[in-house]
Amino acid sequence: MAKLNSSMKFWSLVLLIYSLSSSCYADKSQKLFCSPLAYSACSPASTADRLRKLESLRDILIGLEDTIIFCLIERSKYAYNQHLYDSSRNGLGSFIQDSEAVQARFGRYTLEEETPFSGCNFLRSTLPRMNCTKVLHMPASCFNKSKEIMTAYLDLLPNITINGDDGHYAPALASDLVCLQAISKRITLGKFVAEAKYNKDPIAYNATILVKNNEDALMKLLTDTKVENEVIQRVAKKAEILGQNIDPFNTSIVKQAKVDPSVISRFYENSMIPLTKQVEVTYLQHRLD
């Protein structure tokens, strides 16, 4: 029995590493292949309209800024606990896999905007099918940036936590999962942004998509530097305000933020926005598939 359990843990780790490589979504020719889970994912009828419009998508993305900032502040309460992220121990990987398996049973990954970190073919909901509709184009949506998101987040962690080991492993990992899922959702919404931009001007996008080596041209077409700068400045301001300590018996506000606002704004500038734009470009490259 011990050997069986050891074998099961080994193959669970293999599946996790396999899924994080994103290899279940594309072959060497860069053609996209959809897993059954991706084909069955959809958006609830009550929210599908919001996911089709650029204006409402921007509102959703702005709301996610609050979520991401709050969860990073929450994670900063605990020490780095570096051994949780050692590949030999697989603490974070195991926690994610077990947590997502439970959430999958209750339908989290039947939603188009949600992407599991721990697999693409074996997470199924046990709940009845909801009334939903497809917003994204298939197979253009059959890819993820889970590996890149994980790398960016793990690079960020030492900059928002104190170095050391405080023994609070479960709450630290729970905070990690919430942060990763919020960040992943924000970046995955790039697919919906790309679809909305495409539908707004299909002629211009089709002309660019049909050109070989179109990555730079697509990136230029969808880039709005003014909006990106506004996002970075807004995130820095939010992080400064939301991270302040307020004394109810003193009108003064302690200016020392719980997390350095510049760290969060740089994370948006150097990771979140570029990854979101990469998602948009990849989606558009396959929009006519």
Domains and their CATH numbers in the chain: 35-285 (1.10.590.10)
Mean pLDDT, contiguous 10-residue spans, the chain (289 residues): 44 40 41 62 84 95 97 97 86 93 87 83 68 88 93 97 96 98 97 96 94 93 95 96 77 72 97 98 94
CA 253, 258, 260 angle in degrees (round to 5)? Answer: 105
Task: Count CA atoms within 13 Å of residue 237 on its CB side.
Answer: 7
Residues 6+ apart with CB under 8 A from 105: 124, 125, 126, 127
CA pair distance 121, 15, nearest whole angstrom = 10
Q: Where are the beta strands (DSSP E) in the chain?
A: 43-44, 132-133, 245-246, 253-254
CA pair distance 93, 16, nearest whole angstrom = 7
Task: Please tell me what DSSP assigns to residue 246.
Answer: E
Residues 6+ apart with CB under 8 A from 136: 112, 191, 192, 195, 283
CA pair distance 53, 233, nearest whole angstrom = 24
Enter the tokens of residue 21: 């490589």
Which pLDDT score, from 0 to 100, does residue 7 have?
Answer: 41
Nearest to 144 by CA among 173, 177, 125, 118: 118
Which pLDDT score, from 0 to 100, does residue 148 have?
Answer: 96
Which pLDDT score, from 0 to 100, does residue 24 have?
Answer: 43
Other CB atoms within 10 A of residue 276 CB = 23
Task: Please tell me what DSSP assigns to residue 51.
Answer: G
Contact in structure between 258 and 243 (CB atoms under 8 Å): yes
Which pLDDT score, from 0 to 100, does residue 82 have?
Answer: 95
Which pLDDT score, from 0 to 100, does residue 223 have?
Answer: 94
Model confidence, pTM: 0.85
Enter the tokens of residue 135: 């917003």
Phi and psi, residue 12, nearest 5°: -65, -40
Phi and psi, residue 128, nearest 5°: -60, 150
